[in-house]
Structure 1
Protein backbone atom coordinates (compact mmCIF):
# COMPACT_ATOMS: atom_id res chain seq x y z
CA UNK A 1 0.00 0.00 0.00
CA UNK A 2 1.46 3.37 -1.03
CA UNK A 3 1.03 5.84 1.82
CA UNK A 4 -0.77 9.14 1.32
CA UNK A 5 -1.19 12.23 3.49
CA UNK A 6 -3.49 15.18 2.74
CA UNK A 7 -3.51 18.38 4.81
CA UNK A 8 -5.56 21.58 4.84
CA UNK A 9 -4.96 24.94 6.45
CA UNK A 10 -8.60 25.99 6.76
CA UNK A 11 -11.14 27.61 4.50
CA UNK A 12 -10.51 31.31 4.05
CA UNK A 13 -12.30 34.34 2.65
CA UNK A 14 -9.08 36.18 1.95
CA UNK A 15 -5.38 35.47 2.38
CA UNK A 16 -3.34 38.65 2.04
CA UNK A 17 -0.58 38.80 -0.53
CA UNK A 18 2.16 39.05 2.09
CA UNK A 19 0.93 35.90 3.87
CA UNK A 20 0.35 33.64 0.88
CA UNK A 21 3.91 32.37 0.60
CA UNK A 22 4.15 31.80 4.36
CA UNK A 23 0.88 29.85 4.32
CA UNK A 24 1.94 27.81 1.28
CA UNK A 25 5.29 26.94 2.82
CA UNK A 26 3.61 25.98 6.10
CA UNK A 27 1.14 23.61 4.47
CA UNK A 28 3.94 21.96 2.49
CA UNK A 29 6.00 21.51 5.67
CA UNK A 30 3.05 19.80 7.34
CA UNK A 31 2.38 17.42 4.43
CA UNK A 32 6.06 16.57 4.16
CA UNK A 33 6.30 15.88 7.90
CA UNK A 34 3.29 13.57 7.78
CA UNK A 35 4.55 11.76 4.69
CA UNK A 36 8.01 11.22 6.19
CA UNK A 37 6.36 9.58 9.21
CA UNK A 38 4.50 7.21 6.87
CA UNK A 39 7.63 6.44 4.83
CA UNK A 40 9.43 5.46 8.05
CA UNK A 41 6.66 2.96 8.75
CA UNK A 42 4.60 5.13 11.07
CA UNK A 43 0.85 4.71 11.35
CA UNK A 44 -1.83 6.90 9.79
CA UNK A 45 -2.59 8.19 13.31
CA UNK A 46 1.08 9.11 13.78
CA UNK A 47 1.08 10.92 10.44
CA UNK A 48 -2.04 13.03 10.97
CA UNK A 49 -0.95 13.96 14.48
CA UNK A 50 2.50 14.91 13.18
CA UNK A 51 1.14 16.99 10.30
CA UNK A 52 -1.36 18.86 12.47
CA UNK A 53 1.28 19.51 15.14
CA UNK A 54 3.37 21.32 12.50
CA UNK A 55 0.38 23.54 11.70
CA UNK A 56 -0.43 24.15 15.39
CA UNK A 57 3.17 25.35 15.82
CA UNK A 58 2.88 27.75 12.87
CA UNK A 59 1.39 31.16 13.79
CA UNK A 60 0.01 31.58 10.25
CA UNK A 61 -2.75 29.03 10.96
CA UNK A 62 -5.79 29.19 13.26
CA UNK A 63 -4.72 26.43 15.64
CA UNK A 64 -2.25 26.21 18.50
CA UNK A 65 -0.08 29.33 18.65
CA UNK A 66 -1.97 31.00 15.79
CA UNK A 67 -5.42 30.58 17.34
CA UNK A 68 -7.92 33.42 17.04
CA UNK A 69 -9.25 35.08 20.19
CA UNK A 70 -12.61 34.90 21.96
CA UNK A 71 -14.55 37.99 23.07
CA UNK A 72 -12.32 38.30 26.15
CA UNK A 73 -9.11 38.17 24.11
CA UNK A 74 -8.29 34.60 25.17
CA UNK A 75 -7.36 31.46 23.26
CA UNK A 76 -9.72 28.47 23.56
CA UNK A 77 -8.89 25.52 21.31
CA UNK A 78 -10.65 22.37 20.05
CA UNK A 79 -9.21 19.23 18.43
CA UNK A 80 -10.08 15.65 17.54
CA UNK A 81 -8.43 12.54 16.09
CA UNK A 82 -9.73 9.15 14.93
CA UNK A 83 -8.27 5.80 13.89
CA UNK A 84 -10.14 4.15 11.02
CA UNK A 85 -8.88 0.70 12.01
CA UNK A 86 -11.14 0.39 15.06
CA UNK A 87 -13.01 3.74 15.23
CA UNK A 88 -11.11 4.73 18.36
CA UNK A 89 -11.44 8.50 18.84
CA UNK A 90 -10.24 11.31 21.05
CA UNK A 91 -11.33 14.94 21.34
CA UNK A 92 -10.86 18.01 23.51
CA UNK A 93 -12.63 21.36 23.55
CA UNK A 94 -12.22 24.79 25.15
CA UNK A 95 -8.65 23.97 26.14
CA UNK A 96 -6.19 26.70 27.09
CA UNK A 97 -2.51 27.03 27.85
CA UNK A 98 -1.21 24.00 25.91
CA UNK A 99 0.73 24.21 22.68
CA UNK A 100 -0.69 21.19 20.85
CA UNK A 101 -4.33 20.25 21.49
CA UNK A 102 -4.09 17.44 18.91
CA UNK A 103 -1.57 15.63 21.13
CA UNK A 104 -3.98 15.91 24.05
CA UNK A 105 -6.83 14.57 21.89
CA UNK A 106 -4.71 11.52 21.05
CA UNK A 107 -4.01 10.95 24.74
CA UNK A 108 -7.76 11.03 25.40
CA UNK A 109 -8.17 8.38 22.68
CA UNK A 110 -5.42 6.11 23.98
CA UNK A 111 -5.29 6.70 27.75
CA UNK A 112 -8.94 7.09 28.80
CA UNK A 113 -12.18 5.10 28.38
CA UNK A 114 -13.77 8.27 26.95
CA UNK A 115 -13.87 10.00 23.56
CA UNK A 116 -14.17 13.64 24.62
CA UNK A 117 -12.91 15.84 27.47
CA UNK A 118 -13.59 19.54 27.84
CA UNK A 119 -12.30 22.66 29.60
CA UNK A 120 -11.29 22.00 33.24
CA UNK A 121 -11.44 18.22 32.90
CA UNK A 122 -9.22 18.34 29.83
CA UNK A 123 -6.77 20.61 31.69
CA UNK A 124 -6.60 18.26 34.68
CA UNK A 125 -6.05 15.29 32.37
CA UNK A 126 -3.31 17.15 30.50
CA UNK A 127 -1.52 17.86 33.78
CA UNK A 128 -1.87 14.22 34.86
CA UNK A 129 -0.35 13.11 31.55
CA UNK A 130 2.59 15.47 31.94
CA UNK A 131 1.58 17.74 29.06
CA UNK A 132 3.47 20.99 29.68
CA UNK A 133 1.41 24.10 30.31
CA UNK A 134 2.36 27.27 28.46
CA UNK A 135 1.40 30.83 29.41
CA UNK A 136 -1.84 31.81 27.67
CA UNK A 137 -0.26 34.96 26.24
CA UNK A 138 2.34 32.78 24.48
CA UNK A 139 -0.44 31.58 22.17
CA UNK A 140 -1.69 35.11 21.38
CA UNK A 141 -0.25 36.75 18.26
CA UNK A 142 -0.31 40.46 17.49
CA UNK A 143 -2.15 39.73 14.24
CA UNK A 144 -4.96 38.03 16.14
CA UNK A 145 -5.16 40.86 18.68
CA UNK A 146 -5.71 43.25 15.80
CA UNK A 147 -8.28 40.93 14.20
CA UNK A 148 -10.30 40.86 17.42
CA UNK A 149 -10.16 44.66 17.78
CA UNK A 150 -11.30 45.08 14.18
CA UNK A 151 -14.13 42.56 14.61
CA UNK A 152 -15.42 44.24 17.76
CA UNK A 153 -15.15 47.68 16.20
CA UNK A 154 -17.08 46.66 13.09
CA UNK A 155 -19.59 44.17 14.50
CA UNK A 156 -19.63 44.48 18.28
CA UNK A 157 -19.12 41.88 20.97
CA UNK A 158 -20.39 38.30 20.53
CA UNK A 159 -21.15 38.90 16.85
CA UNK A 160 -18.54 37.00 14.86
CA UNK A 161 -18.75 37.15 11.09
CA UNK A 162 -19.87 33.60 10.47
CA UNK A 163 -18.77 33.34 6.85
CA UNK A 164 -15.40 35.05 7.21
CA UNK A 165 -14.13 32.98 10.13
CA UNK A 166 -13.51 29.62 8.56
CA UNK A 167 -10.02 28.67 9.75
CA UNK A 168 -9.18 25.20 11.00
CA UNK A 169 -6.32 22.83 10.21
CA UNK A 170 -6.55 19.15 9.50
CA UNK A 171 -5.00 16.05 7.98
CA UNK A 172 -6.03 12.65 6.68
CA UNK A 173 -3.72 9.76 5.90
CA UNK A 174 -3.45 6.21 4.58
CA UNK A 175 -0.55 4.11 5.86
CA UNK A 176 1.29 1.13 4.41
CA UNK A 177 -0.95 -1.29 6.36
CA UNK A 178 -4.10 0.14 4.77
CA UNK A 179 -5.31 2.00 7.85
CA UNK A 180 -6.72 5.53 7.59
CA UNK A 181 -6.98 8.32 10.17
CA UNK A 182 -7.93 11.97 10.51
CA UNK A 183 -6.98 14.85 12.80
CA UNK A 184 -8.52 18.34 13.01
CA UNK A 185 -7.57 21.29 15.24
CA UNK A 186 -8.74 24.90 15.59
CA UNK A 187 -8.82 28.07 17.64
CA UNK A 188 -12.44 28.57 16.58
CA UNK A 189 -13.87 31.88 15.35
CA UNK A 190 -12.81 35.43 16.14
CA UNK A 191 -14.87 37.19 18.82
CA UNK A 192 -16.69 34.00 19.84
CA UNK A 193 -18.46 33.70 23.17
CA UNK A 194 -16.44 32.14 25.98
CA UNK A 195 -17.04 28.39 25.91
CA UNK A 196 -18.21 28.28 22.30
CA UNK A 197 -17.44 24.93 20.69
CA UNK A 198 -17.72 24.32 16.95
CA UNK A 199 -17.54 21.25 14.79
CA UNK A 200 -13.82 20.47 15.10
CA UNK A 201 -13.90 18.23 18.22
CA UNK A 202 -17.19 16.55 17.28
CA UNK A 203 -16.68 13.13 15.69
CA UNK A 204 -18.75 13.00 12.50
CA UNK A 205 -18.70 16.77 11.99
CA UNK A 206 -15.06 17.86 12.23
CA UNK A 207 -13.87 14.58 10.80
CA UNK A 208 -14.33 10.84 10.61
CA UNK A 209 -12.25 7.77 9.77
CA UNK A 210 -13.32 4.22 8.91
CA UNK A 211 -11.05 1.88 6.97
CA UNK A 212 -14.02 0.52 5.04
CA UNK A 213 -15.02 3.98 3.73
CA UNK A 214 -12.20 6.50 4.12
CA UNK A 215 -11.04 9.42 6.23
CA UNK A 216 -12.13 13.06 6.10
CA UNK A 217 -11.25 16.32 7.85
CA UNK A 218 -13.49 19.37 7.49
CA UNK A 219 -13.17 23.12 7.79
CA UNK A 220 -15.58 26.02 7.52
CA UNK A 221 -18.43 27.57 9.46
CA UNK A 222 -18.63 25.32 12.50
CA UNK A 223 -22.29 25.79 13.32
CA UNK A 224 -23.28 24.87 9.76
CA UNK A 225 -20.96 21.85 9.72
CA UNK A 226 -22.49 20.64 13.00
CA UNK A 227 -26.02 20.96 11.70
CA UNK A 228 -25.38 18.75 8.65
CA UNK A 229 -22.78 16.43 10.25
CA UNK A 230 -20.56 17.24 7.28
CA UNK A 231 -17.86 14.60 7.74
CA UNK A 232 -20.18 11.62 8.16
CA UNK A 233 -22.59 12.99 5.56
CA UNK A 234 -19.80 13.08 2.98
CA UNK A 235 -18.69 9.53 3.80
CA UNK A 236 -22.31 8.38 3.60
CA UNK A 237 -22.32 9.50 -0.03
CA UNK A 238 -19.09 7.55 -0.55
CA UNK A 239 -20.80 4.47 0.91
CA UNK A 240 -23.61 4.97 -1.60
CA UNK A 241 -21.14 4.63 -4.48
CA UNK A 242 -20.09 8.20 -5.22
CA UNK A 243 -16.45 9.04 -5.85
CA UNK A 244 -14.66 11.07 -3.18
CA UNK A 245 -14.95 14.22 -5.30
CA UNK A 246 -18.64 13.65 -6.04
CA UNK A 247 -19.41 13.01 -2.38
CA UNK A 248 -17.57 16.18 -1.35
CA UNK A 249 -19.40 18.27 -3.93
CA UNK A 250 -22.81 16.95 -2.90
CA UNK A 251 -22.35 17.43 0.85
CA UNK A 252 -20.70 20.87 0.58
CA UNK A 253 -23.42 21.91 -1.87
CA UNK A 254 -26.12 20.74 0.52
CA UNK A 255 -24.63 22.73 3.40
CA UNK A 256 -24.36 25.83 1.23
CA UNK A 257 -27.89 25.62 -0.17
CA UNK A 258 -29.53 24.68 3.14
CA UNK A 259 -27.64 26.99 5.49
CA UNK A 260 -25.52 29.29 3.30
CA UNK A 261 -22.60 27.67 5.13
CA UNK A 262 -19.20 27.68 3.45
CA UNK A 263 -16.52 25.08 4.05
CA UNK A 264 -14.07 22.56 2.73
CA UNK A 265 -13.08 18.91 3.04
CA UNK A 266 -10.09 16.67 2.41
CA UNK A 267 -10.52 12.92 1.93
CA UNK A 268 -8.54 9.73 1.37
CA UNK A 269 -9.65 6.10 1.02
CA UNK A 270 -7.99 2.70 1.40
CA UNK A 271 -7.31 2.56 -2.35
CA UNK A 272 -5.14 5.67 -2.01
CA UNK A 273 -7.57 7.95 -3.84
CA UNK A 274 -7.77 11.50 -2.45
CA UNK A 275 -9.89 14.60 -2.91
CA UNK A 276 -9.73 18.25 -1.90
CA UNK A 277 -12.86 20.42 -2.24
CA UNK A 278 -14.10 23.73 -0.84
CA UNK A 279 -16.80 26.38 -1.30
CA UNK A 280 -14.99 29.20 0.52
CA UNK A 281 -12.85 31.62 -1.48
CA UNK A 282 -9.69 29.61 -0.86
CA UNK A 283 -8.27 26.72 1.16
CA UNK A 284 -4.55 26.02 1.51
CA UNK A 285 -3.92 22.30 0.94
CA UNK A 286 -1.19 19.81 0.12
CA UNK A 287 -1.01 16.12 -0.74
CA UNK A 288 2.07 13.89 -0.53
CA UNK A 289 1.94 10.59 -2.43
CA UNK A 290 4.36 8.48 -4.49
CA UNK A 291 7.20 10.90 -3.88
CA UNK A 292 5.24 13.80 -5.33
CA UNK A 293 3.78 16.86 -3.64
CA UNK A 294 0.55 18.45 -4.92
CA UNK A 295 -0.47 21.78 -3.36
CA UNK A 296 -2.56 24.90 -3.83
CA UNK A 297 -4.54 27.70 -2.23
CA UNK A 298 -7.09 28.90 -4.79
CA UNK A 299 -9.43 27.02 -7.11
CA UNK A 300 -7.84 25.66 -10.30
CA UNK A 301 -4.33 26.51 -9.09
CA UNK A 302 -2.28 23.39 -8.35
CA UNK A 303 1.47 22.96 -8.27
CA UNK A 304 3.19 19.56 -8.42
CA UNK A 305 6.79 19.02 -7.32
CA UNK A 306 9.04 16.15 -6.27
CA UNK A 307 9.33 15.57 -2.55
CA UNK A 308 12.87 16.09 -1.18
Structure 2
Protein backbone atom coordinates (compact mmCIF):
# COMPACT_ATOMS: atom_id res chain seq x y z
CA UNK A 1 0.00 0.00 0.00
CA UNK A 2 1.35 3.41 -1.02
CA UNK A 3 2.34 5.70 1.81
CA UNK A 4 0.95 9.25 1.95
CA UNK A 5 2.61 12.02 -0.01
CA UNK A 6 1.78 15.66 -0.65
CA UNK A 7 3.14 18.91 -2.05
CA UNK A 8 2.53 22.63 -1.53
CA UNK A 9 3.89 25.69 -3.35
CA UNK A 10 3.94 29.48 -3.20
CA UNK A 11 4.63 32.15 -5.79
CA UNK A 12 5.32 35.10 -3.54
CA UNK A 13 3.49 37.08 -0.86
CA UNK A 14 2.71 40.76 -0.39
CA UNK A 15 0.30 43.36 -1.69
CA UNK A 16 -1.85 41.74 -4.36
CA UNK A 17 -4.72 43.98 -5.41
CA UNK A 18 -8.02 42.54 -6.63
CA UNK A 19 -8.96 45.76 -8.40
CA UNK A 20 -5.92 45.52 -10.67
CA UNK A 21 -6.27 41.80 -11.41
CA UNK A 22 -7.87 41.14 -14.78
CA UNK A 23 -9.72 37.88 -15.28
CA UNK A 24 -7.23 36.81 -17.94
CA UNK A 25 -4.25 37.41 -15.65
CA UNK A 26 -6.03 35.73 -12.74
CA UNK A 27 -6.64 32.64 -14.85
CA UNK A 28 -3.03 32.57 -16.04
CA UNK A 29 -1.74 32.66 -12.47
CA UNK A 30 -4.01 29.77 -11.52
CA UNK A 31 -2.91 27.83 -14.59
CA UNK A 32 0.78 28.21 -13.78
CA UNK A 33 0.28 27.30 -10.11
CA UNK A 34 -1.66 24.21 -11.13
CA UNK A 35 1.05 23.21 -13.60
CA UNK A 36 3.66 23.55 -10.85
CA UNK A 37 1.66 21.41 -8.44
CA UNK A 38 1.01 18.74 -11.04
CA UNK A 39 4.69 18.56 -11.97
CA UNK A 40 5.68 17.92 -8.37
CA UNK A 41 2.77 15.58 -7.72
CA UNK A 42 3.69 13.44 -10.73
CA UNK A 43 7.15 12.83 -9.27
CA UNK A 44 5.74 11.85 -5.88
CA UNK A 45 3.03 9.58 -7.34
CA UNK A 46 5.70 7.57 -9.14
CA UNK A 47 7.61 7.05 -5.90
CA UNK A 48 10.10 9.81 -6.60
CA UNK A 49 11.91 11.80 -3.95
CA UNK A 50 10.68 14.95 -2.25
CA UNK A 51 13.82 16.67 -3.54
CA UNK A 52 12.98 15.87 -7.16
CA UNK A 53 9.36 16.90 -6.57
CA UNK A 54 10.14 20.37 -5.21
CA UNK A 55 12.71 20.97 -7.95
CA UNK A 56 10.15 20.01 -10.60
CA UNK A 57 7.52 22.27 -9.07
CA UNK A 58 9.83 25.26 -8.71
CA UNK A 59 11.23 24.80 -12.23
CA UNK A 60 7.74 25.37 -13.67
CA UNK A 61 7.46 28.65 -11.76
CA UNK A 62 10.97 29.71 -12.81
CA UNK A 63 10.02 29.15 -16.45
CA UNK A 64 7.00 31.46 -16.17
CA UNK A 65 7.43 35.23 -16.67
CA UNK A 66 4.67 35.81 -14.08
CA UNK A 67 6.84 35.10 -11.04
CA UNK A 68 9.98 36.76 -9.69
CA UNK A 69 12.30 33.80 -10.22
CA UNK A 70 14.11 32.50 -13.27
CA UNK A 71 12.64 33.99 -16.44
CA UNK A 72 10.43 36.51 -14.62
CA UNK A 73 13.13 37.85 -12.29
CA UNK A 74 13.24 41.55 -11.45
CA UNK A 75 16.13 43.73 -12.55
CA UNK A 76 18.99 45.14 -10.51
CA UNK A 77 20.15 48.75 -10.61
CA UNK A 78 22.47 47.69 -13.46
CA UNK A 79 19.49 46.41 -15.50
CA UNK A 80 20.64 42.84 -14.99
CA UNK A 81 19.07 39.80 -13.42
CA UNK A 82 20.74 38.22 -10.36
CA UNK A 83 19.08 35.12 -8.97
CA UNK A 84 19.30 33.13 -5.73
CA UNK A 85 18.03 29.66 -4.82
CA UNK A 86 18.31 26.97 -2.17
CA UNK A 87 17.19 23.42 -1.50
CA UNK A 88 17.27 21.24 1.61
CA UNK A 89 16.35 17.61 2.16
CA UNK A 90 15.20 16.52 5.59
CA UNK A 91 16.69 13.03 5.92
CA UNK A 92 20.38 13.88 6.18
CA UNK A 93 20.03 17.68 6.25
CA UNK A 94 21.88 18.00 2.96
CA UNK A 95 21.64 21.46 1.41
CA UNK A 96 22.61 23.32 -1.72
CA UNK A 97 22.42 27.07 -2.30
CA UNK A 98 23.49 29.64 -4.88
CA UNK A 99 23.35 33.43 -5.03
CA UNK A 100 23.93 36.15 -7.60
CA UNK A 101 23.85 33.99 -10.73
CA UNK A 102 23.08 35.76 -14.00
CA UNK A 103 23.21 33.15 -16.75
CA UNK A 104 21.49 30.07 -15.35
CA UNK A 105 18.00 29.36 -16.72
CA UNK A 106 16.83 27.37 -13.69
CA UNK A 107 18.68 28.34 -10.51
CA UNK A 108 16.89 25.71 -8.40
CA UNK A 109 18.38 22.96 -10.54
CA UNK A 110 21.86 24.36 -9.95
CA UNK A 111 21.19 24.53 -6.20
CA UNK A 112 20.36 20.81 -6.27
CA UNK A 113 23.56 20.18 -8.25
CA UNK A 114 25.58 21.99 -5.58
CA UNK A 115 23.96 19.76 -2.95
CA UNK A 116 24.53 16.52 -4.82
CA UNK A 117 27.77 17.04 -6.75
CA UNK A 118 29.79 19.59 -4.78
CA UNK A 119 31.78 19.35 -1.57
CA UNK A 120 30.34 22.76 -0.66
CA UNK A 121 26.85 23.90 0.26
CA UNK A 122 26.74 27.54 -0.92
CA UNK A 123 28.26 29.02 -4.09
CA UNK A 124 27.91 32.61 -5.30
CA UNK A 125 28.31 34.69 -8.43
CA UNK A 126 31.03 33.78 -10.91
CA UNK A 127 32.07 30.77 -8.84
CA UNK A 128 28.57 29.33 -8.90
CA UNK A 129 28.40 29.80 -12.65
CA UNK A 130 31.85 28.28 -13.20
CA UNK A 131 30.67 25.21 -11.29
CA UNK A 132 27.48 25.15 -13.38
CA UNK A 133 29.27 25.25 -16.71
CA UNK A 134 31.67 22.53 -15.56
CA UNK A 135 28.58 20.42 -14.86
CA UNK A 136 27.30 21.00 -18.38
CA UNK A 137 24.83 23.83 -17.85
CA UNK A 138 24.13 26.01 -20.87
CA UNK A 139 25.06 29.70 -20.70
CA UNK A 140 21.77 31.63 -20.84
CA UNK A 141 21.94 35.17 -22.20
CA UNK A 142 20.35 37.97 -20.18
CA UNK A 143 17.94 38.55 -23.05
CA UNK A 144 16.08 35.40 -21.98
CA UNK A 145 15.21 37.00 -18.66
CA UNK A 146 14.17 40.39 -20.05
CA UNK A 147 10.47 41.25 -19.82
CA UNK A 148 8.84 44.62 -20.47
CA UNK A 149 7.04 44.37 -17.15
CA UNK A 150 10.25 44.09 -15.12
CA UNK A 151 11.93 46.87 -17.10
CA UNK A 152 8.97 49.17 -16.47
CA UNK A 153 9.12 48.31 -12.77
CA UNK A 154 12.78 49.23 -12.64
CA UNK A 155 12.14 52.59 -14.34
CA UNK A 156 9.38 53.48 -11.85
CA UNK A 157 11.49 52.46 -8.87
CA UNK A 158 14.44 54.50 -10.13
CA UNK A 159 12.25 57.56 -10.42
CA UNK A 160 11.20 57.10 -6.81
CA UNK A 161 14.78 56.39 -5.71
CA UNK A 162 13.71 53.23 -3.94
CA UNK A 163 14.07 49.47 -3.88
CA UNK A 164 10.30 49.07 -3.65
CA UNK A 165 7.45 50.36 -5.76
CA UNK A 166 5.74 53.61 -4.94
CA UNK A 167 2.89 52.92 -7.34
CA UNK A 168 1.37 49.82 -8.83
CA UNK A 169 0.73 49.05 -12.48
CA UNK A 170 0.14 45.35 -11.98
CA UNK A 171 -1.93 43.64 -9.24
CA UNK A 172 1.21 42.38 -7.52
CA UNK A 173 3.85 45.05 -8.16
CA UNK A 174 4.24 45.51 -4.41
CA UNK A 175 4.63 41.78 -3.85
CA UNK A 176 7.84 40.31 -2.47
CA UNK A 177 8.81 37.97 -5.26
CA UNK A 178 9.89 34.46 -4.44
CA UNK A 179 8.73 31.01 -5.43
CA UNK A 180 9.01 27.87 -3.34
CA UNK A 181 7.80 24.35 -2.68
CA UNK A 182 7.69 21.82 0.15
CA UNK A 183 6.92 18.13 -0.18
CA UNK A 184 6.60 14.80 1.62
CA UNK A 185 7.44 11.69 -0.40
CA UNK A 186 6.34 8.07 -0.02
CA UNK A 187 9.53 7.26 1.88
CA UNK A 188 8.60 9.80 4.55
CA UNK A 189 11.23 12.34 3.49
CA UNK A 190 10.61 16.08 3.55
CA UNK A 191 12.23 18.68 1.29
CA UNK A 192 12.01 22.42 0.71
CA UNK A 193 13.11 24.60 -2.20
CA UNK A 194 13.07 28.37 -2.74
CA UNK A 195 14.07 30.53 -5.73
CA UNK A 196 14.02 34.30 -6.32
CA UNK A 197 15.16 37.19 -8.46
CA UNK A 198 15.46 39.38 -5.37
CA UNK A 199 14.15 42.95 -5.26
CA UNK A 200 13.83 45.55 -8.01
CA UNK A 201 16.74 48.02 -8.24
CA UNK A 202 18.86 46.08 -5.74
CA UNK A 203 22.50 47.08 -5.47
CA UNK A 204 25.84 45.92 -4.06
CA UNK A 205 25.21 42.20 -4.62
CA UNK A 206 22.29 42.11 -2.19
CA UNK A 207 21.16 38.64 -1.08
CA UNK A 208 17.91 38.01 0.78
CA UNK A 209 16.64 35.13 2.86
CA UNK A 210 15.73 32.69 0.07
CA UNK A 211 19.12 30.95 -0.30
CA UNK A 212 19.93 31.11 3.42
CA UNK A 213 19.24 27.82 5.17
CA UNK A 214 17.28 28.49 8.37
CA UNK A 215 16.10 31.91 7.19
CA UNK A 216 14.13 31.31 3.99
CA UNK A 217 14.47 27.55 3.54
CA UNK A 218 14.55 24.57 5.90
CA UNK A 219 13.62 20.87 6.02
CA UNK A 220 13.88 18.24 8.74
CA UNK A 221 12.42 14.74 8.59
CA UNK A 222 9.91 13.96 11.29
CA UNK A 223 9.31 17.66 11.80
CA UNK A 224 8.73 20.21 9.02
CA UNK A 225 9.75 21.66 5.66
CA UNK A 226 9.49 25.44 5.15
CA UNK A 227 9.84 27.89 2.24
CA UNK A 228 9.46 31.61 2.95
CA UNK A 229 8.62 34.69 0.91
CA UNK A 230 8.67 38.30 2.02
CA UNK A 231 10.93 41.14 3.08
CA UNK A 232 14.16 39.17 3.15
CA UNK A 233 16.07 41.39 5.55
CA UNK A 234 13.44 40.78 8.24
CA UNK A 235 13.20 37.05 7.56
CA UNK A 236 16.98 36.82 7.96
CA UNK A 237 16.93 38.71 11.26
CA UNK A 238 14.21 36.43 12.63
CA UNK A 239 15.57 33.22 11.05
CA UNK A 240 11.95 32.43 10.24
CA UNK A 241 12.22 28.97 8.66
CA UNK A 242 14.47 27.67 11.42
CA UNK A 243 12.29 29.25 14.08
CA UNK A 244 9.24 27.39 12.78
CA UNK A 245 11.16 24.12 13.01
CA UNK A 246 12.44 24.92 16.50
CA UNK A 247 8.99 25.77 17.83
CA UNK A 248 7.64 22.49 16.52
CA UNK A 249 10.61 20.46 17.78
CA UNK A 250 11.05 21.96 21.24
CA UNK A 251 7.64 23.41 22.11
CA UNK A 252 5.62 20.68 20.46
CA UNK A 253 3.56 23.21 18.49
CA UNK A 254 1.63 22.03 15.46
CA UNK A 255 2.58 23.45 12.08
CA UNK A 256 -0.19 26.06 12.00
CA UNK A 257 0.54 27.40 15.48
CA UNK A 258 4.29 27.58 14.89
CA UNK A 259 3.93 29.41 11.58
CA UNK A 260 1.26 31.87 12.67
CA UNK A 261 3.06 32.67 15.93
CA UNK A 262 6.01 33.99 13.94
CA UNK A 263 4.38 35.50 10.83
CA UNK A 264 1.63 37.29 12.77
CA UNK A 265 3.75 37.86 15.88
CA UNK A 266 7.34 39.08 16.17
CA UNK A 267 7.96 39.30 12.43
CA UNK A 268 4.95 41.53 11.89
CA UNK A 269 5.77 43.68 14.93
CA UNK A 270 9.23 44.26 13.46
CA UNK A 271 7.62 45.47 10.24
CA UNK A 272 8.37 42.35 8.24
CA UNK A 273 5.72 41.60 5.63
CA UNK A 274 5.42 38.25 3.92
CA UNK A 275 4.50 34.65 4.42
CA UNK A 276 5.52 31.03 4.09
CA UNK A 277 4.40 27.54 3.20
CA UNK A 278 5.21 24.71 5.59
CA UNK A 279 4.54 20.98 5.63
CA UNK A 280 4.69 18.70 8.65
CA UNK A 281 5.79 15.06 8.82
CA UNK A 282 2.25 13.86 8.08
CA UNK A 283 1.99 15.85 4.87
CA UNK A 284 -0.21 18.56 6.38
CA UNK A 285 0.47 21.87 4.63
CA UNK A 286 -0.08 25.29 6.15
CA UNK A 287 0.12 28.74 4.56
CA UNK A 288 0.70 31.76 6.78
CA UNK A 289 0.88 35.39 5.65
CA UNK A 290 0.54 38.86 7.14
CA UNK A 291 0.00 40.46 3.73
CA UNK A 292 -3.04 40.87 1.49
CA UNK A 293 -2.18 37.88 -0.60
CA UNK A 294 0.14 35.06 -1.55
CA UNK A 295 0.06 32.94 -4.68
CA UNK A 296 -0.21 29.44 -3.29
CA UNK A 297 -1.53 25.93 -3.77
CA UNK A 298 -1.36 22.38 -2.44
CA UNK A 299 -2.28 18.81 -3.24
CA UNK A 300 -2.95 16.96 0.01
CA UNK A 301 -2.42 13.30 0.91
CA UNK A 302 -5.87 12.44 -0.48
CA UNK A 303 -5.09 14.04 -3.83
CA UNK A 304 -7.26 17.12 -3.30
CA UNK A 305 -5.96 20.28 -4.96
CA UNK A 306 -6.50 23.83 -3.71
CA UNK A 307 -5.14 27.04 -5.28
CA UNK A 308 -5.59 30.53 -3.81
CA UNK A 309 -4.31 34.07 -4.24
CA UNK A 310 -5.83 36.42 -1.65
CA UNK A 311 -5.45 36.26 2.13
CA UNK A 312 -9.20 36.21 2.75
CA UNK A 313 -9.76 33.10 0.63
TM over 0.5: yes
* 1:190-244: CA deviation from partner (whole Å, max 9, x where unpaired): 1111411000100001110000211010000000000000100111111211111
1:306 maps to none
Q: Hey, what's the Cα distance between the residues in 2 that align with 1:112 and 1:225?
A: 27
Alpha-carbon distance, 1:257 to partner: 3.8
CA contact (8 A) 2:64 2:72 kept: yes
C-alpha distance in 2 between matches for 1:81 and 1:198: 15
Q: Is the 8 A contact 1:97 1:139 kept in 2?
A: no
Across the two proteins, how many residue pairs are aligned to each other?
299
Superposed counterparts of 1:50-129, under 5 Å: 50-129=56-135
Matched, 1:274 2:297: no
Computed over aligned residues only, the root mean square deviation of the Cα atoms, in angstroms, reads 1.5
Partner of 1:234: 244
Residue number in structure 2 paired with 1:263 = 274
Unaligned runs of 5+ in 2: 167-172
TM-score normalised according to structure 1 size: 0.94
Measured after TM superposition, the shift of residue 161 of structure 1 is 5.0
Q: Structure 1 residue 244 and structure 2 residue 248: aligned?
A: no
DSSP-derived class of the 1:12 partner: strand
Picking from 159, 183, 194, the partner of 1:173 is 183
Native 8 Å contact 1:71 1:194 kept in 2 = no
| CA 9–159 in structure 1, closer or farther in 2 if over 3 Å, else same | closer
Q: Is structure 2 residue 41 aligned with structure 1 residue 17? A: no
Alpha carbons of structure 1 residues 36 and 181: separation in structure 2 relative to 1, 3 Å: same
- Give the equivalent residue in structure 2 for 1:5: 7
State how far apart, in whole Å, the 1-side matches of 2:267 and 2:133 are: 41
**Distance in structure 2 (CA, Å) of the matches to 1:93 and 1:202:** 9
Aligned 8 A contact 1:72 1:194 in 2: no
How far residue 97 of structure 1 moved from its aligned partner, in angstroms, is: 1.1
Q: Secondary structure at the match of 2:28?
A: helix
Could you tell me which residue of structure 2 aligns to residue 305 of structure 1?
none
